[in-house]
Structure 1
Amino acid sequence: MRSRAPGHNGRSMKIPVYGPRLRKVARKHFGWSSLRPGQFKPMRAVLRRRDALVVLPTGAGKSAIYQIPAVLLPGPTVVISPLLALQQDQIAALNERDDPKIRAVRVSSAETPAQQRAAIAAVAAGEAEFLFITPEQLSDPERMAEVRALKPGLVAVDEAHCISAWGHDFRPEFLALGDLIKGIGRPPVLALTATASPPVREDIIERLHLNKPEVHVSGLDRRNLFLEAAYCPDEDYRWRRLTSLLDAAERPGIIYVPTRRSAEELAARLTDAGYPAEFYHGGMAAGAREQKHEDFTDDKVDIMVATSAFGMGIDKPNIRWVAHMALPDSPDSYFQEIGRAGRDDEPAQALLLWRAEDEAIQRFFTGGAPDEVELRELAAAVRSGPATKAELKEKTGLGPRKLSAYLALLEEVGAVVSGRGNRVTVPVFAPLPAAAASAAVKAHERQQVLDRSRTDMMRGFAETRACRTQTLLAYFGEELAKPCGHCDNCAEGSAEEVESASGDEPFAVHSKVRHPEWGAGMVMGYEQDRVTVLFDEVGYKTLSVPVVVENELLTAQ
């Protein structure tokens, strides 16, 4: 996401030595008169050459956390992010300042070999500070050697949740990033994300091989965003609630739907009803997607009906509302999607219109176990010699989507690795094909259990009579001391009665516990007489506190 000038909330933070230097760079090189308090501590970690993981909501100026310290650090900064459009936005924002100290270049599949060589040369000559690059480029040993020779002072990994199979936007090509960063000299690493629940954070730290990182989580309570959820007894009611929003609220806005077909059908129905709308989904041609993305960004489209494919890279400050026409698959996805509203700090609205039937759709999406025999044959095919995906498709007869999914599972259990020229190879000490297939099936089953538990948590959020922000933040392992005052339950007064837990909770929030059947877990939060625990093996569970205490179901670890 493009870094914009962060707002000021009237408070100042005294950071010895670093504060004045950071503010001076912000003013001189970026034109920002002030910084948000949530940015200072992570910036200080960067200047101290510490690894850090930063969780800040969409639009809170995450990019500034690496951009400003980069000016003060020796050596260039390497930026790794998952989307070329996202990179292009950030590069344009940096280069429009016409300041050699913050000039950015890119090496990706979008550049010709000559442009790639020119980019590397510009960084080597000190004519550019930021090198944006993709994991695929770094996986080429020659390219890795070139980047290593630049002696980078910092690596920033944007949208870091993409490295986690527990995350909602997992990218298999990110799996090798920890080793790739080691290959370019292992400078300090700054991992950035807008949404990361505790298991995702732990996964990011492990997969990027972060060394005793500082973890900074802040600003998750978006005070300008009004949260509302409404149960819809039938589709007619859901339609009426949506059109009421469209009649009352300013535009533009985004309507999220669960399937490609529903995106097309709802956009057509809205247009016919006098609400001109466009649709967007992953099944469209790349050119058509880019055009619609651009039209929405340029205020040529007021209402965009989209699947979750309409996501990262939307850098638009004036989105006034985000509506969900079904339960999202998880609070992770929901939080990321509603975070696109109100990035200009003006009032915005998030409306969730849900039905019990929505869960059946999510169960369908999380279904479909992998075939252990096919996995074993694929692992054996890779073991017979390095191969491209096209060659493996030919050898195994697997379709492209299934092949990619299977390779991701095998890579997760250490059976294969993507190497030079996107060739798939077998790492040293890899499990044999039969063991690899068995481990991959178990990894998939664990993921399914977690996915189902996250859907359950989303249902819990939709049904709660407590403060919605407290409920949502508890999922991310964060506590809000009192009701937010900007959700429907707070507005109705129903959240007041659960302003805080009883005060004599048997286990502290974030403490480790063990259940005789479900194993180890972490206490995430309390709501009235219920406690939510995230278990390593079975995901999220909500338990009755009196039952837990009476039967000694949980023990402190």
Structure 2
Amino acid sequence: MSGAWDTVVDMQATRGMANELLTGIAGPGAQLRDDQWTAIDALVNHRRRMLVVQRTGWGKSAVYFIAAKLLRDAGAGASLIISPLLALMRNQVVAAERAGIRAATLNSANMTEWEDIQAQVAAGEVDVLLISPERLNNPGFRDEVLPALAATVGMVVVDEAHCISDWGHDFRPDYRRIRDLLAGLREGVPVLATTATANDRVVADVQAQLGEYTGVLRGGLDRESLHLAVVRLADTTTRPAWLATHLAELEGAGIIYCLTVSAAEDLAEALEAVGWNVAAYTGRTEAGERERLEHALINNELKALVATSALGMGFDKPDLGFVVHVGAPGSPVSYYQQIGRAGRATERADVILLPGSEDSEIWEYFASVSFPDEATVRHLLGALTDEPQSTMKLEAQVDLSRSRLDQVLKVLDVDGAVRRVKGGWVGTGEDWHYDADRYSGLAQARTAEQEAMLAYEDTDSCRMLFLRRQLDDATATEPCGRCDNCTGRRWTTGIDATVAQRVADRLAAPGVRVTQRRQWPTGISVRGRIHGVEPGRALGRLNDIARGPALTALLADRSWRPTHPWQQDVWLPRIVAVLSDWDWDARPTTVVALGSHDPATTDFVAALAEAIAGVGRMAYAGVLPVRPGAGEVTAQNSAYRVTALLNHWDVTGIGSSEGPVLLVTDLIDTGWSVTVAGSALAERTGQPVLPLAVASRG
């Protein structure tokens, strides 16, 4: 079957055919609702473009899977589904397989499998291909795969389509490329855009980008299982203790959202300290570990995931019992989207917002880094040449953090000013206009959304009605009758004193924990669980308000050497405090310094490691050196990074150890360097390895 549209038969799909496929997804006896069939009929039988705005749990994925299969049965090519998060892709692939639909995904976690998957698509062995929006600008995919796929595609689906509009540009700039993809489709290729979070402005924006003849199917956004509440504490620093006290009152397993990575990690540690089985899930969590944690929550092995917005669109646990926010998102739209994870197949789910005094400052920070001023962008463009440069090299030339630099480059790429190629980024030489009016408009919209979020916290009327009206839900006319304002039932602000003390002790502990990597990336020479490397510690995070600036200065200078006596040193007493608080099973007996390509860094780390060994009366085993001829590892993708690191250090000079090994380094970023080196050390010494860093990133 070639999949080209000239081979498509004029088959009229029936509702009965669609219902038969639905039973494979939802089980025996499942029947499509009228509005679901309306969407499928428009796509399959009339080859239309449709925008579907429906609440979470309405069944949008069933619509596009069924439509994709019916189109394939008529001779069309594979459907392309553009989805924003890996969690969404994994759940959708499983759902598709239950219905006999052959689905595959291309994402950053399975790069080593891309060639095989692309060959399967070309051979007609795949019904649905799921990709992230970023794949649209991956050089290999963009130049080698996308043209052929676009020529034979059976349908294009844009999930979480609100990201197409200006409202979502800061989140995923590559969604703006979808307009170009749609413009290049053959006539008669159906397009489906879906979202649960779009107000009138976003609907109009998305509809305009899909085309003026796009049909809109829009339903009510009430969620009858959700019981909304806001709990205001006089001292918002007691929120972790309040949550630890009242978590037992929340049924089932749930999600606890935090605004920052550090807040999520600290809260997870605090809840663990009082006996709760929780785990942190953030943008720093590796793809394989994310999947493990998602399954643990789905199987009720955890009480909660303490997450940032990295766990958002697409995570599917129908019986999720609660969603708690420790800190308010900057928009009612974002808030509605996140609480929509709860109560999809339960009679009741509790939704609690614990606002914080720092929320507005965090909103302002995110707003300040959304897009740089024109002078900074011009400086970045001036640093680009015809020779590809990695973000690591550009970071040394432009005053932008790695994450922010990457985001700006994506926006400039979409605007045509730069181009991503193999090896990094190049300038295109094209004129580029700094769209001050657009950025100003986005800033004003962001401010309005923040003010609306504050109004939600303060309202004494129905909370669900407030959120629905923020999303321009025309059916929002009656109070929900379930929220704290409708019922008058409030959560108590009482906190157990013993629990509060244990939480406070944990939060006041010196240093920060560094989560261990548990699984090797897929598709490389090592497989399965990682053994021998324990969770680590760092003096602090680079983005800590209190500790970050001093740690950043220390790492930038690297001239520190120990002072004697050590108690009068600037840094050694802090390190001793971290080591004293470390709850290891056995005290380390040996210290090893992790070598670097940079001699100054190696000298700095070696001096630190030797000083620690002296203070702690441990054996100093020297530097774990980089092998001669080993190149600098710049890859950020986990599979490629680990592959490059596997033979990077020479462990032959390290002898045996009587107990655990303390592996000292300057900075833990992705965590793979200490994991690969630590695994090799563990195998060499037969002892567990404990990573210790000056700082962690994020």
> What range is the shorter-chain TM-score in?
0.7 to 0.9
Tell me the CA shift for residue 320 of structure 1: 0.5
Equivalence for 2:487 = 491
**Amino acid paired to 2:90:** Q
Equivalence for 1:407 = 409
Equivalence for 1:462 = 457
For residue 57 of structure 2, the aligned residue among 59, 75, 84 is: 59
2:79–2:156 contact (8 Å) kept in structure 1:
yes
Tell me the CA shift for residue 237 of structure 1: 6.3
Equivalence for 2:129 = 131
Equivalence for 1:225 = 226
1:242 to 1:443, Cα distance in 2 relative to 1, 3 A: same
Q: Does 1:141 align with 2:136?
A: no
1:134 to 1:319, Cα distance in 2 relative to 1, 3 A: closer
Q: Does 1:198 align with 2:193?
A: no
Equivalence for 2:31 = 34
Q: Secondary structure at the match of 2:163?
A: helix
Tell me the CA shift for residue 394 of structure 1: 6.9
1:56–1:218 contact (8 Å) kept in structure 2:
yes
Tell me the CA shift for residue 475 of structure 1: 0.6
**After the TM superposition, which residues 424-503 of structure 1 pair with which residues of structure 2 at under 5 Å, given as runs?**
432-433=431-432, 436=433, 438-439=434-435, 441-479=436-474, 480-492=476-488
Aligned CA RMSD, in angstroms, stands at: 3.3
Tell me the CA shift for residue 340 of structure 1: 0.9
Equivalence for 2:270 = 269
* Structure with the greater alpha carbon radius of gyration: 2
Tell me the CA shift for residue 300 of structure 1: 1.9
Counterpart Cα distance in 1 of 2:241 and 2:354? 10
Q: Secondary structure at the match of 1:364?
A: helix
Tell me the CA shift for residue 409 of structure 1: 4.2
Q: Does 1:92 align with 2:94?
A: yes
2:255–2:322 contact (8 Å) kept in structure 1:
yes
Moved more, 296-305 or 217-226: 296-305
Tell me the CA shift for residue 481 of structure 1: 2.2
1:393 to 1:248, Cα distance in 2 relative to 1, 3 A: same
2:240–2:267 contact (8 Å) kept in structure 1:
no
**After the TM superposition, which residues 306-455 of structure 1 pair with which residues of structure 2 at under 5 Å, given as runs?**
306-368=307-369, 370-380=372-382, 385=386, 387=388, 389-390=390-391, 393=394, 396-397=397-398, 398-411=400-413, 414-416=415-417, 418=419, 421=422, 432-433=431-432, 436=433, 438-439=434-435, 441-455=436-450
**Amino acid paired to 1:277:** V
1:189–1:210 contact (8 Å) kept in structure 2:
no
Tell me the CA shift for residue 235 of structure 1: 2.7
Counterpart Cα distance in 1 of 2:264 and 2:146? 41
Tell me the CA shift for residue 227 of structure 1: 1.0
Q: Does 1:173 align with 2:177?
A: no
Equivalence for 2:40 = 43
Equivalence for 1:296 = 297
For residue 22 of structure 1, the aligned residue among 12, 15, 18 is: 18
1:147–1:184 contact (8 Å) kept in structure 2:
no
2:327–2:355 contact (8 Å) kept in structure 1:
yes
1:240 to 1:403, Cα distance in 2 relative to 1, 3 A: closer
1:327 to 1:133, Cα distance in 2 relative to 1, 3 A: closer
Query: Please, which runs of 5 or more residues in structure 2 have no aligned partner?
Result: 1-11, 491-698
Tell me the CA shift for residue 474 of structure 1: 0.8
Counterpart Cα distance in 2 of 1:404 and 1:294? 30
**Amino acid paired to 1:202:** A
Counterpart Cα distance in 1 of 2:461 and 2:331? 18
Equivalence for 1:5 = none
Deviations 1:278-333 (A, max 9, x none): 22222345554444334323322112222222223422122111111222111121
Moved more, 331-340 or 179-188: 179-188
Q: Secondary structure at the match of 1:58?
A: coil
Q: Secondary structure at the match of 1:175?
A: helix
Counterpart Cα distance in 2 of 1:84 and 1:422? 25
**Amino acid paired to 1:132:** L
Q: Does 1:153 align with 2:154?
A: yes
Q: Secondary structure at the match of 1:176?
A: helix
1:389 to 1:489, Cα distance in 2 relative to 1, 3 A: same
Counterpart Cα distance in 1 of 2:325 and 2:308? 10
1:167–1:196 contact (8 Å) kept in structure 2:
no
Counterpart Cα distance in 1 of 2:387 and 2:201? 33
For normalisation by structure 2, the TM-score amounts to 0.60
Tell me the CA shift for residue 260 of structure 1: 2.3
1:247 to 1:255, Cα distance in 2 relative to 1, 3 A: same
Moved more, 161-170 or 449-458: 161-170
**Amino acid paired to 2:51:** L
2:395–2:405 contact (8 Å) kept in structure 1:
no
Q: Secondary structure at the match of 1:132?
A: strand
1:105–1:132 contact (8 Å) kept in structure 2:
yes
1:416–1:425 contact (8 Å) kept in structure 2:
no
Deviations 1:475-527 (A, max 9, x none): 11113121111211221399xxxxxxxxxxxxxxxxxxxxxxxxxxxxxxxxx
Query: Please, which runs of 5 or more residues in structure 1 have no aligned partner?
Result: 1-15, 495-557
Deviations 1:15-45 (A, max 9, x none): x985444334434786452124442332232
2:388–2:421 contact (8 Å) kept in structure 1:
no
Q: Secondary structure at the match of 1:231?
A: coil
Counterpart Cα distance in 1 of 2:238 and 2:115? 58
Counterpart Cα distance in 2 of 1:30 and 1:130? 18
Equivalence for 1:214 = 215
Q: Report how many residues are paired.
A: 465
Counterpart Cα distance in 2 of 1:357 and 1:259? 11
Counterpart Cα distance in 2 of 1:34 and 1:422? 50
Counterpart Cα distance in 2 of 1:286 and 1:454? 31
Counterpart Cα distance in 2 of 1:276 and 1:361? 28
Counterpart Cα distance in 1 of 2:147 and 2:387? 21
Q: Stretches of 4+ moved more than 6 A in 1? A: 425-428
Q: Secondary structure at the match of 2:156?
A: strand
**Amino acid paired to 2:103:** A
Q: Secondary structure at the match of 2:48?
A: coil
**Amino acid paired to 2:196:** A
1:228 to 1:85, Cα distance in 2 relative to 1, 3 A: closer
**Amino acid paired to 1:253:** G
Counterpart Cα distance in 1 of 2:237 and 2:375? 46
Identity of aligned residues (%): 35
1:163–1:170 contact (8 Å) kept in structure 2:
no
Tell me the CA shift for residue 425 of structure 1: 6.7
Tell me the CA shift for residue 388 of structure 1: 5.4
Q: Does 1:162 align with 2:163?
A: yes
Q: Secondary structure at the match of 2:168?
A: coil
Counterpart Cα distance in 1 of 2:216 and 2:246? 38
Q: Secondary structure at the match of 2:167?
A: coil
Counterpart Cα distance in 1 of 2:273 and 2:391? 44
Deviations 1:113-153 (A, max 9, x none): 7x54554454455443212234454442221232134x222
